[in-house]
Amino acid sequence: MPLLVGEAIVLHTFDYLESSRIVRLVTRDAGLRSALARGARRSKRRFGSGLDLFAQGTASLQVRAGRDLDTLTAFDEVEGRGVMAESLERFMGAETVAEIVLRFGAVHADAHLFDTVEAAFNNIAAAAPAAARDATLAAAWRIVAALGHAPMLTQCVECGDALDDSAALLFSHSAGGVLCPRCAMLGPGGRKLPGQARLTIAAWLDGRDAIPSSDAESRAHQRLLREFIEYHVHDGRGLRAFDLWESADGSAA
- What is the predicted pLDDT for the residue at 168? 96
Residue type, 244: L
Domain ranges of the chain: 3-80, 87-150+191-247
pLDDT of residue 42: 73
Confidence check: pLDDT of 27 > 90: yes
Closest CA to 97 of 11, 28, 173, 220: 11
Q: How confident is the model at residue 251 (pLDDT cuts 50, 70, 90)?
A: very low
- Residue 153: strand, helix, or coil: coil
Q: Does 180 score more than 80 pLDDT?
A: yes
- Is the pLDDT score of 99 beyond 60? yes
pLDDT digits (tens, 9 = 90+) for 118-135: 999 999 999 999 999 999
Instruction: Report whether pLDDT(232) > 90.
Output: no
Q: pTM for this one?
A: 0.91
Q: Give the mean model confidence (pLDDT) for residues 113-118.
A: 97
Q: How confident is the model at residue 64 (pLDDT cuts 50, 70, 90)?
A: confident
Helix (H) / strand (E) containing 33: strand 31-37
**3-class SS of residue 23:** strand
pLDDT of residue 253: 38
Q: What Cα–Cα distance (Å) separates residue 177 from each residue in 41, 82, 116, 133, 134?
A: 46, 37, 21, 23, 21
Class of domain 87-150+191-247: mainly alpha
Q: What is the pLDDT of residue 48?
A: 61
> What is the Cα–Cα distance from 198 to 157, expressed in whole angstroms?
13
Q: N- to C-terminal Cα distance for the chain?
A: 48
Region 3-80: CATH code? 2.40.50.140
- Cross-strand bridge partners of residue 57: 8, 77
